[in-house]
Amino acid sequence: TQLLEQSPQFLSIQEGENLTVYCNSSSVFSSLQWYRQEPGEGPVLLVTVVTGGEVKKLKRLTFQFGDARKDSSLHITAAQTGDTGLYLCAGADTGTASKLTFGTGTRLQVTL
Amino acid sequence: DTEVTQTPKHLVMGMTNKKSLKCEQHMGHRAMYWYKQKAKKPPELMFVYSYEKLSINESVPSRFSPECPNSSLLNLHLHALQPEDSALYLCASSPQGQGYWDTQYFGPGTRLTVL
């Protein structure tokens, strides 16, 4: 069974601070997605990373896929209140791309 | 356009009722998914349809019955549910459902309450 552990589970910071969320596994994934989810809504795709060592930047968000494709990180620079939400990483199985293994989730609260 | 729509937004049903959840996408995606999400937990995969054929059933109880009438539509028929089935039901779609990577796009979900 593939598992994705996210850390930290909860993070409460003030606007303007930087933060990093980690997503770790002992399994190899063919790709990894990051989603943000608001309460009662569906997850919204932020990024897909495919290549080991890949780094993608989306404005203040930087995503990295580990060289061995077993782990990933999300770094947010100068957090804003609009970044508040549940962040989920999800790894695609190398055997069956349809099956996503979701991480345990990181709940981020950004306050003024 | 990366939109997946789901109806209804909220549904309350009794244990003897029969209801259906609907999902639609017009992105030309050939794979569609049903997930169940309990509070403060990540989504759990229920079913996968690839090219309108059921390809994955994650040992879901028969009181949940999926249907894929065409490549744009996905239904989940509900019958004789239990209170513990109350959850957020998410639909997702992806371009192919095959190959070495395939990004899934999620709908807004249906909040189901079983009384």
**Mean pLDDT to the nearest integer, A69-81:** 97
Within 8 A by CB and 6+ apart from A99, the residues are A92, A93, B45, B48, B56
Q: Give dist(CA A15, CA A109) in Å, integer.
A: 10
Ranking B19-28, B64-73, B86-95, B101-110 by mean pLDDT, the lowest is B101-110
Condensed to tens digits (0 to 9), the pLDDT of residues B75-110 reads 999 999 999 999 999 999 998 756 556 789 999 999
Which residue of A lies nearest to B105 if distances are taken between CA atoms?
Answer: A45
How far apart are the C-alpha atoms of B111 and B88, rounded to whole Å? 4
For the residues B6-24, what does the mean pLDDT come to?
95
B-chain CB neighbours of A96 within 8 Å are: 56
Distance CA A58, CA B18 (A): 44
pLDDT of A5-62, one tens digit each? 999 999 999 999 999 999 999 989 888 999 999 988 999 999 999 999 999 999 999 9
Facing A97 at nearest CB: one of B92, B98, B109: B98
Question: Which of A35, A41, A88 is opposite residue B108, by nearest beta carbon?
Answer: A41
